[in-house]
Structure 1
Amino acid sequence: MSKKHRRRRITAGQRCLIMLTAVLSVALALTCAYKALVHPPQQGSGPAAVSAAVSEVPPEEQDADQLALAAKAAHSARKADFYTVLISGVDDGNGGSDTNILVAVDAGAGQIYGVNIPRDTKIKVNGKNHKFNAAYNIGGMDQVAATLSQQLGIPVDYTVEVSLKAFSALVDAIGGVDFYVPIDMNYDDPIQNLSIHFNAGMQHLSGAQALKVVRFRHNNDGTGYGSEDIGRMKTQQDFLKAVAKQTLRPANLAKVSEFSKIFQMYVKTDLEVGELAWLGQEAFTVGADNIDFSTLPGEWKSPYIYLNADEVLNIVNEHLNPYVENRVLEDLGILT
């Protein structure tokens, strides 16, 4: 007679080992999938790649053209993990992009810096003079980016076109924002169906209220900031910092899916989903205290703002320049 095969009984220890192995396998798979999805944006492979290729040629074998090419490439060698992103608000009722902020993400140094471009900055497109906010009407975000890149002498790596509805929805998603309104605001425009009334001081603003505060330029009686757009940009910068501080709290990590839906509805960008996720991850790591803003300095001479080239160059090299070497005045294309 053959012996009956006994079924091996799995011990509690073996069960734990199997469960642990399964959990680790799933975790490993999720980690691999996450790493495959989330990745830093591309920086391009122009001058930096040329520099690397030329450097492989022994100096004694490099001719004059190669040396000149190497010098030009070295002048344009990129810093690691440094990206420039142009964010434009385009839903203000006139079709232009009245709010334009170039954001430099320096992940290597753990800093994020945004600079406002005054809407009345003098530009030239197709041989004609315009205000900066007209660039969007002329050629969309590509024209806005090309115009800004030409003026600042640095590339705009990516663009983000934001409907102001996204701004309002984000503020509501984080439960509103506590913000110090800098001045009394009293403005009514029946044509736009716009009514703005706030007292100066600390306010808890909903999305709709926040949109009114950042759009405000002056009161009906002409009082207000004194320098309408410069004052408005300062308020926008302060408000964006307040939003960043509240959005980048660990508790809001649970709202990532909600933020994603808002983004999909109201934002157009040439960044991929994985690149956006990487930038968002870096923003959480950097934290709101390491996010700063300023405005490109210039002087109003009707009908334009003329940028101060020396002061702009300082801002570019200190905060916005993605290249290893500093820019010089000849790199800038600021109109006089």
Structure 2
Amino acid sequence: MVKKRRRRHISPLQRRLMALVIILSVFVGLTLTYKAIVRPPQLEGENGAGLPASSQAFSSAEQALQDADQLALAAKAAHSARKSDFYTILVSGVDDGNGGSDTNILVAVDAGAGRIYGVNIPRDTKSRINGKNYKFNAAYNLGGMEQAAETLSGQLGIPVDYTVEVSLKAFSALVDAIGGVDFNIPVNMDYDDPIQNLSIHFTAGTRHLTGAEALKVVRFRHNNDGTGYGSEDIGRMKTQQDFLKAVAKQTLRPANLTKVSQFAKIFQQYVKTDLELGELAWLGQEAFSMGADNVNFSTLPGEWHSPYIYLNADEVLGIVNEYLNPYVEDRVLADLNILS
């Protein structure tokens, strides 16, 4: 006769403890997975050139040269030592119908100081590309985001760590995803372009904009009769900055944390970048923690002399060191390459 095995009795307390252990195990597993995926952007050679290993024996002349080399390398390393959690990202809107990048903003994410600063690069900025003079927005057409980043880095004397190429459809989709944006339209807008099938008609004042409407507002440069901002691209950049500030205020609210997956879907569909998904998640997390009040914009200062905008080197240097410089040590005019 087979003896029946007695079933072990589990008390309600034991069941609760077991459930708690399972929940904690799942939580720890998810936390470890999250930390493994979500991480700060990884930069190569962050702290500049290292010093060479010491040699065994040198003549006095050789030693003097070695010492001079050591000092030069030390100075170079000091000049390129980076701030912690500081990243520069070139964001370009490229669907302007002309093959170039119509909107270019260098965004400095300073997670250490808890702020984000974006600087518009005027599309007509005089730039040197492959030995010839061009307007800055031609860089994308000549070599994509890599060329645009290289051109801007050469002018400002700082690295462009990452690039984000945005279809204007992404802009429209994001605005719709956050439920539209209340925005004060600065001027009356009456413009028609049959070639692009584009009609922009708005009265100045505050209104709630859908994604499609917002796209028209930020693309507007002048009216059919030539009136409008009076300074076309400069006026348009100011509107873009004000609108992006409004978008940041609307997006970086706790309520929108539930829409992260929707934002990610928009990003995957319309955006090209060399940032990895976990790095983007980290940057988004930092942006939410900073809040919209710590997101600001400006424009590289310069003057229009047909056919280019000529940047003011001294004023640009001030903006670089105040907001955009990822290095511990300030840049100097010799680090910049501003064309006259």
Same fold (TM over 0.5): yes
**In 1, Cα distance between the equivalents of 2:239 and 2:3?**
87
Q: Distance in 2 between matches of 1:49 and 1:214?
A: 39
Query: Are the aligned partners of 2:189 and 2:222 in contact in 1 as well (CA < 8 Å)?
Result: yes
Cα distance in 2 for residues equivalent to 1:70 and 1:332: 21
- Segment drifting more, 245-254 vs 307-316: 245-254
Q: Which residue of 2 aligns with 1:167?
A: 171
Q: Which residue of 1 aligns with 2:59?
A: none
Partner of 1:34: 34
- Give the direction of change, closer, same or farther, for the CA distance of 1:34–1:223 in structure 2 (3 Å limit): same
2:94 is matched with 90
Q: Which residue of 2 aligns with 1:249?
A: 253
Q: What TM-score results when the alignment is normalised by the length of structure 1?
A: 0.95
Alpha-carbon spacing, 1:55–1:38, altered in 2? closer, same or farther (3 Å) = farther
- Once the two structures are TM-superposed, the CA of residue 2 in structure 1 deviates from its matched residue by 11
1:193 pairs, out of 190, 197, 202, with 197
Residue in 1 aligned with 2:290? 286
SS at match of 1:86: strand
Query: Are 1:45 and 2:55 an aligned pair?
Result: no
| 1:330 and 2:334 aligned | yes
Q: Matched residues, percent identical? A: 78
Instruction: State the match for 2:60 in structure 1.
Output: none
Structure 1: distance between partners of 2:209 and 2:4 = 77
Report the Cα distance in structure 1 between the residues aligned to 2:52 and 2:113, rounded to whole angstroms. Answer: 28
Within 5 Å, give how 1:75-114 maps onto structure 2: 75-114=79-118
- Show the counterpart of 1:16: 16
Task: Give 1:38 shift.
Answer: 0.3
Which residue matches 2:75? 71
AA aligned opposite 1:168: S
1:113 is aligned with what amino acid? Y
Per-residue CA deviations over 1:266-285 (Å, capped at 9, x if unaligned) read 00000000000000000001
The amino acid across from 1:270 in the alignment is: D
Once residues 293 and 44 of structure 1 are traced to their aligned partners in structure 2, the CA distance between those partners, rounded to angstroms, is 28
TM-score by length of 2: 0.94
For the pair 1:261 / 2:260, whether they are aligned, the reply is: no
Aligned mates of 1:56, 1:219 — CA distance in 2: 68
- Distance in 1 (CA, whole Å) between partners of 2:2 and 2:30 is 48
User: What per-residue deviation string (whole Å, max 9, x for no partner) do you get for residues 126-156 of structure 1?
Assistant: 1111000000111100000000000000000
**In structure 1, what is the equivalent of residue 239 of structure 2?**
235
Counterpart position of 2:151? 147
Contact 2:252 2:287 in 1 (8 A): yes
Indicate the SS of the match to 1:63: helix
Q: What letter matches 1:315 in structure 2? A: I
Give unmatched runs, 5+ long, in structure 2.
56-62
- Give the CA deviation at 1:5: 5.2
Q: Are the aligned partners of 2:48 and 2:76 in contact in 1 as well (CA < 8 Å)?
A: no
Provide the secondary structure at the position in 1 that maps to 2:83.
coil
CA offsets 1:92-115 (integer angstroms, 9 cap, x no match): 111100100000000000000000
Q: Are the aligned partners of 1:55 and 1:70 in contact in 2 as well (CA < 8 Å)?
A: no
Measured in 2, the distance between the counterparts of 1:145 and 1:286 equals 26
Give the aligned residue type for 1:207.
Answer: G
Name the CA distance, whole Å, in 1 between partners of 2:236 and 2:68: 52
Contact 2:167 2:270 (C-alpha < 8 Å) held by counterparts: yes
Q: 1:297 is matched with which residue: 290, 294, 301? A: 301
Asked if 2 retains the 8 angstrom alpha-carbon contact of 1:168 and 1:210, the reply is yes
Q: Retained in 1: the 8 A contact 2:49–2:76?
A: no
Q: Is the CA contact 2:172–2:212 (under 8 Å) kept in the aligned structure 1?
A: yes
Whole-Å separation in 2 of the counterparts to 1:22 and 1:55:
53
**2: CA distance, partners of 1:56 / 1:13:** 67
Counterpart of 2:280? 276
Secondary structure class of the residue paired with 2:49: helix
Aligned equivalents of 2:152, 2:49: Cα separation in 1: 25
CA distance in 1, matches of 2:208, 2:290: 25
Contact 2:48-2:80 within 8 A present in 1 as well:
no
| Partner Cα distance (2:257, 2:101) in 1 | 30
Partners of 2:317 and 2:110 in 1: how far apart? 18
Is 1:311 the counterpart of 2:310 in the alignment? Answer: no
Q: Give 1:255 deviation, angstroms.
A: 0.9
- Does residue 225 of structure 2 align to residue 225 of structure 1? no
Other structure's SS at 1:268 match: strand
State how far apart, in whole Å, the 2-side matches of 1:55 and 1:99 are. 46
Residues of 2 paired with 1:56 and 1:45: CA distance?
A: 21
Instruction: Give the partner amino acid of 2:313.
Output: A
CA contact (8 A) 1:54 1:70 kept: no
